[in-house]
Amino acid sequence: MLALSRKVNESIMIGNDIEITILDIKGDQIKIGISAPKSVPIYRKEIYLQILESNKEAASTNISEEVLKKLFE
């Protein structure tokens, strides 16, 4: 893991087109801004983990052949 120190209004770049800017620091909270192409999904980690879990559940769901046939009729 790379650890960097930044002050308010300072940024870091990830690749050529993702910029993370420190917007505000209050106590133990830091507000950040992220500029990235619309094609790059950005999620809070807890939401991302929920999406992964939902995808795993959906992929492991057994769908009967009859249900599939009905979907494509």
pLDDT at 67: 77
* Rounded Cα distance, 59 and 54, in Å: 9
pLDDT at 65: 78
List the chain domain ranges: 11-71
In this prediction the pTM is 0.71
List the beta bridge partners of residue 12: 20
**Tens digit of pLDDT for each residue in 12-67?**
999 999 999 999 999 999 999 999 999 999 999 999 999 999 998 888 777 777 77
For residue 8, pLDDT over 80 is answered with yes
